Amino acid sequence: MSEQDWVLHVDLDQFIAAVEVARRPELRGRPVVVGGAGDPTRRAVVATASYEARAFGVHSGMPLKLAARKCPDAVFLPTDPPAYEAVSARVMAALRELPAEVEVIGWDEAFLGVRTTDPEAFAARVRAAVAERTGLSCSVGVGDNKLRAKLATGFAKPAGVYRLTRDNWVAVMAERPVTALWGVGGRTAAKLAELDIRTVADLARADPAALATRFGPATGPHLRDLALGAGDPTVRGTPRVARSRSRETTFQQDLTSADEIRTQVRLLARRVAEDVRAEGRPAVRVAVKVRFAPFRTTTRGVPLPAPATDAAAIEDGALTALAGLDLDRAVRLLGVRAEFG
C-alpha cells in the first residue's frame, strides 16, 4: 500500500477529570465532577465529569446542584486552569515530537497531518506517546479531512481509534440525526426539522436554494456540505494563539439592580483588561454574557472604536454591549470577553 495523507484528530479522554484523578489516584474509578469552587451547594456549572459520573447523567454545563442530585456520591473538585494548561502543554509537546504537522485547537485536542501507509498504526503510536509522557488516555479519529477525523473520534471514545472517510461516510452517518454533525446544535436542528430535515441523509439531499433561503447564502450551503462529509484536508502546524480572553462570575444571590449589574460588569472588564495586557495584543471587540434566572443565557458583543489594551476602553465596550440587553430579570451570572483581531 502506498503512502497517502491523513488527518488524525487527537482528543484526550475526560481531560480535566483525568488530570484531577492523576493527582489523586485514590479517586480512580469513582464519579468525579469538576466545576466552580468544587462546592455543589454554591452556584456554578460542571466543567467536566468523569465517565463514572456521566453514567448518572452528569454532563458539562449542568448546574453543580443538579449534578449532586443526579450523583450524590460524586467527588466534587474545584477547577484548576493552570494545572490543565501545564498538562496540555506536555501533551502537545509529545505530539510535536512525532513526524506530523500539529494544529492545536484546544487544551485537550489537536489535529495531526500525517503521511503514512497505516494511519491506525500511527494513531496507536500517538496514544502511546501521550500515555508515556502524561499517563493520560486519548482517542484518535482517522479521516481524509478534519470534519471526518473529528467525528471519527466520537466513535473511538473512550481510548480507541476509528476511521471515517468517504468510503464509509454514508454507511456510518446517513441515518444519524443532524446533531451528529460537527457544529449543528439543537437550535439549528429544530429549524431543519421545520423543513422536514432530521437525518444526515435528509440534509445531504436537501435543496441548496431552500437551505440558503432559511439559513442564509453562506450557512445554508455549508450545512449541506457538512452532511456530505466535506471538510478541510489541510492541517496547519502553527502554535495555538488565543482568540480571546474572558472572565465570568456566578453570583450566589441573584442581581436585581441594574446599577449592581453594571458595577459587576465593570469589575469583570478590568480583570479582562489585565489579561489582555498580559497577552500583549490589543482587543478589537468586547462581548458581555448574561445568564438570567433560572437559566436563560444571552450574549451581545460590540466592536471597539479602535484596537485597545487599556481598561477604560474595554470597560466602555463592555458597558456598551450591556446597554443593548434588556435587564428585566434577575441575573445569576455575568461574563466579559475581549476578542483579538
What pLDDT sits at residue 294?
79
Give the largest CA-CA distance in the chain: 68
For 209, other C-beta atoms within 10 Å of its C-beta total 11
How many degrees, rounded to 5, is the angle at CA 322 between CA 246 and CA 297?
Answer: 70
What pLDDT sits at residue 310?
92
C-alpha dihedral (31, 33, 34, 40), degrees to nearest 10: -140
What pLDDT sits at residue 240?
66
Instruction: Say if 170-227 and 244-340 have the same CATH topology.
Output: no
Q: Which CATH number fits domain 170-227: 3.30.70.20, 3.40.50.800, 3.40.190.10, 1.10.150.20?
A: 1.10.150.20
**What is the rounded distance in angstroms from the CA atom of residue 281 to the CA atom of residue 243?**
10
What pLDDT sits at residue 341?
82
What pLDDT sits at residue 238?
72
CATH fold of the domain at 244-340: Dna Ligase; domain 1 (3.30.1490)
Instruction: Describe the crossing of helices 81-96 and 15-23 by its angle, rounded to 10 degrees.
Output: 100
What pLDDT sits at residue 330?
92
Q: Is 194 a catalytic residue?
A: no
C-alpha dihedral (75, 78, 81, 83), degrees to nearest 10: -60
Among 36, 33, 6, 19, CA closest to 89: 19
What pLDDT sits at residue 173?
98
What pLDDT sits at residue 296?
84
Instruction: Describe the crossing of helices 81-96 and 119-134 by its angle, rounded to 10 degrees.
Output: 140
CATH 3.40.1170.60 for the 17-81 domain, yes or no: yes
pLDDT along the chain (341 residues), means of 10: 90 96 94 94 92 96 95 95 92 95 93 97 97 96 97 96 98 97 92 96 95 93 95 85 86 90 95 92 94 86 93 95 90 93 82
Indicate which residue of 20, 101, 109, 339 is catalytic: 109
Helix runs in the chain, H state only: 15-23, 51-54, 64-70, 81-96, 119-134, 146-156, 169-173, 186-194, 200-205, 208-215, 219-227, 258-279, 311-323
Please state the domain extents for the chain.
Answer: 4-15+84-164, 17-81, 170-227, 244-340
Q: Which CATH number fits domain 4-15+84-164: 3.30.465.10, 3.30.70.270, 3.30.200.100, 3.40.980.10?
A: 3.30.70.270
**What is the rounded distance in angstroms from the CA atom of residue 246 to the CA atom of residue 255?**
20
